[in-house]
Amino acid sequence: MIPGESKDLVEYAVRRALGMHADYAEARFQANSLTQLFMINGNIEALTSTFRAGIGVRVIVNGSMGFASTNDPTQVDKAVECAVKGAKACTKISKKIKLSEETFCEASYASKVLERPEDISIDEKIEFLKSLDELAKERGITGRNISLRNSREQVYYVNSEGSRVEGDVTRVSVDVMLTLVIGPESAQEFIGKGGSGGWELVKKWNILEEISRIASVMKRSIEKGMPSPKGKMDLVLGPHVVGLMMHESTGHPYEADRILGREAAQAGESFVKPDMLGKRIGSEIVTVVDDPTIEGSSGFYLYDMEGVR
């Protein structure tokens, strides 16, 4: 539950910006908590827990945009003033900004959680990781890298067009990297599980059973595996490969900051240009769907950070 005083500050920030003659204003309170555990070959290598919260304010003044944020509730006035001043300072040097017309509403949404991950003790989480590691070790797995994460993101968003959206999404994930070495040969496999929900998801995934199955597949691959045939052929790709391809080919390239040339780190710039809106890219027989409204999915949300459904 987002504290009432935090919501009041968001509402106040929008009113304050409009009072300073902003043509459009929005404010967002966001709180993110994250706990991570990392185990390598039976040893806990890292345990981290972080919490971050603050308010961001965005305004448009005479077609120019300004933004400011603060994690100090006593500095909201200053953040609003900074955003408005920043927008006014850009009025003579930037192109006029016009946001798309959207239908806004008042709404709230949350992921379904039966067992809150933060209520599960660190000792119990460590024992869970140990159970995975011990089984993998029993199956002869040489290298075992296991991680567990749980996070919670709470958002309260308000804009001057009438939007009020409250979101609360809890996520959990377990990643297991296994390496098997037999003589001069080796095999590696990755198990990745994630979703929006509570500790009940971790129980449902039956990762112990999957580790046992994967260990047998890896051993058989080393001892009896054959080289793949050469030449041009049709392939049926697994989800790990397809997921990576989609992530790199239709994920990063469609990030607005890369399209606008403002970001090039790690994933590089984008082949997509601003004037390509509406243009088909790729084969007509390929369909890629990115739907964050699927309950239980890792990327679940019903409204984006601009209050749009």
The whole-angstrom separation of Cα 21 and Cα 24 is: 9
pLDDT digits (tens, 9 = 90+) for 72-98: 999 999 999 999 999 999 887 768 888
Cα-based angle 213, 217, 222 (whole degrees, multiple of 5): 150
Q: 141 and 31 in one domain? A: yes
pLDDT at residue 287 greater than cutoff 90:
no
> Any idea what the CATH number is for the domain that residue 133 is in?
3.30.2290.10
Q: 196 and 93 in one domain? A: yes
> Domain count of the chain?
2
Q: 136 and 241 in one domain? A: no
Let me know if residue 299 belongs to a domain. no
- Judging by beta carbons within 10 Å of its beta carbon (0-12, 13-18, 19+), is residue 25 exposed, middle or buried? buried
Q: In b/e form, how buried is each residue of 208-244, taking b as 16+ CB within 10 angstroms?
A: eeebeebbeebbeebeeeeeeeeeeeeeeeeeeeeee
Helix residue ranges per DSSP H, the chain:
4-19, 76-89, 122-138, 199-204, 207-224, 239-246, 256-259
Q: 190 and 264 in one domain? A: no
Let me know if residue 54 belongs to a domain. yes
pLDDT at residue 232 greater than cutoff 80:
yes
Let me know if residue 284 belongs to a domain. no
Q: 123 and 51 in one domain? A: yes
Q: 73 and 217 in one domain? A: yes
Q: 28 and 127 in one domain? A: yes
Q: Please count the other Cβ atoms lying within 10 Å of the Cβ belonging to residue 63.
A: 14
Q: Residue 253 belongs to what domain range?
A: 234-275
Let me know if residue 20 belongs to a domain. yes
Residues 6+ apart with CB under 8 A from 253: 259, 270, 271, 272
Task: Record the pTM.
Answer: 0.88
Q: 246 and 219 in one domain? A: no
Q: 249 and 211 in one domain? A: no
pLDDT digits (tens, 9 = 90+) for 25-57: 999 999 999 999 999 999 999 999 999 999 999
Q: What is the pLDDT of residue 94?
A: 67
Segment 197-223 shows an average pLDDT of 96
Let me know if residue 306 belongs to a domain. no
Q: 159 and 255 in one domain? A: no
DSSP 117: G
